[in-house]
Structure 1
Amino acid sequence: MTGTRLMRLAEDPAFQETHFIAIDFEGTTPKGTPPEPIEVAALGIEHMPGRGPVVSGFQFQSLIRPPEHAPVTARDTAQTGITAADVAHAPDAATVLHDLDQALPGRPRVLVAHHAPVEAGFIYRHRDHCPRLAYTRLICTRRLARCVWPGLPAYGLDALLAHAGIPQPANRHRAMDDVAVTAALFRHLVTEAARNRTLTTLADLVRAAGVQPRAAAATQLELS
């Protein structure tokens, strides 16, 4: 309608109330079976009036002992720096994901991950131990970047960090370092989208970059 002011993303009540939780898993690479988590980290992001999206006080990090059928291999160690000895006495995935699930903020929340279907897979396979996580929608920063910066030659995390001018973390492929730069990239993308009015509501953000939790999709199939 002529004369109607387009709302800014920061003015959307749903966006203001949402606690975004950046999450990252590191995993094993077994042959013939899905990967198993060996580390997880999560970091909160929330809207602050006058400052935009900032890191909140929520933080979680833990190593995870994988099952015997999916041990840490030399390939995994080369990728992450995590050794079999590092995780030998760590709690198992059921314990860690239960603890993370219990620690989640109670307010409306959305998960954020760079390649969200991968994180969604880890969560879904352990959904019995983390039901709140399992039914929480995800935002994929890879998809969000395609919306905000169409036409880039590559949308991998390293390429997007370079494009955004975000320094590489000291320990790339460790969960907390990766989740910290994923959070920084998300904040940068949301700020850019708000500035150019690419997105004006949380609903816009979900439509552009949302990933439905696999647990919710499975439930819908069971009911249909």
Structure 2
Amino acid sequence: MKILEVSDLTTGYTDLDILHGISMHIESGEIVSIIGPNGSGKSTLMKTIFGLLRPRGGTIVFKDRDITGVKPNMVVRFGMSYVPQEKEFFPSLTVLENLEMGAFIRDDDISESLERIYTIFPALKEKGQIRAGSLSGGEQRMVGIGRALMLSPDLLLLDEPSAGLAPVMRDMVFEKIAEVNRAGTSILIVEQNARRSLGISDRGYVLEMGRNRFEGRGLELLENEDVLRLYLGG
């Protein structure tokens, strides 16, 4: 079953269109990667899906609900969470306080959600009383993902989750993303580290200049000669 379907999406900034008729979808339970060169519209697509940018054309359907142009505060309530590339946590708050802030629209007991997150990210439990700003880059990324998971989303959007991390931290973050998916959350990743991202993805889409260029199974795209030559340096 499709949890997300984007059809013929056009959007941009002021008078400049960035996306030109993009179409893609995510089946329930999948990890899907969006890759492509800088300026291809990857992050613009994610921001438009989440409601941070209003589309100029096309439709976005999430769990059989048309959310085209719906603002983020409502999109979150429908079951979608977003972790931006920028700092996605409060540096002056503790790890636990950051996670609690992630449940801002909930009025029920969040203890079960915390325990689920601690199962995936045990380091967050160990460092619950430490200020998030003092953590390593990889640990901070875990805090951001953990905050987004506090709402138990059906779909998690991750914008450049490995950006700026050392190789060992990048590997750990991708391993944790796969673990989140195995626990039942569908995931959309925008990522410059295409090899690592496609390696954990069920399917992927390659964008070029705001248009669909290639799509396929994650491992198939890694073996596609055109994708290798144009985007992966093969």
Q: TM-score, normalised by structure 2?
A: 0.27
Q: TM-score, normalised by structure 1?
A: 0.28
Relative to total residues, which structure has the larger helix share, 1 or 2? Answer: 1
Relative to total residues, which structure has the larger strand share, 1 or 2? Answer: 2
